[in-house]
Amino acid sequence: MKHKTIKIIGIVAACVVALGLIWALTKNVHGPQETRSWQEQDESIRDTMTKSLPDLSDPEAMGQFKSTANMIEGTVGY
């Protein structure tokens, strides 16, 4: 029983040391900072939404659009 308790304490201590090491190595890591203003971000999103829609009067573009839409719907599970 004593040997089992010591083993459990050792495993817990090893986990604490591992978590401490991970924390110490990553505490100064930061994600990318956004440098654009919210107006620039909004404009970029608006441009992306309006300019990325293909000319759906073209049969080839319509086929590609439907294919992409079906693929996206398939991954969501509709």
Decide if 65 is inside a domain: yes
Average pLDDT over residues 41-67: 79
Element (H, E) at 8: helix 2-26
Decide if 17 is inside a domain: no
CA separation, residue 31 to residues 19, 26, 44 (Å): 20, 11, 21
Decide if 55 is inside a domain: yes
Q: For position 35, what pLDDT does the model report?
A: 82
Residue 9 has pLDDT above 90, yes or no: yes
Decide if 33 is inside a domain: no
Number of domains the chain contains: 1
Decide if 63 is inside a domain: yes
Confidence of residue 56 (pLDDT cuts 50, 70, 90): confident
**Helix, strand or coil for residue 29?**
coil
Decide if 35 is inside a domain: no
Show the domain range for 63. 45-77
Confidence of residue 23 (pLDDT cuts 50, 70, 90): very high
Decide if 18 is inside a domain: no
Decide if 69 is inside a domain: yes
pTM score of the predicted model: 0.39
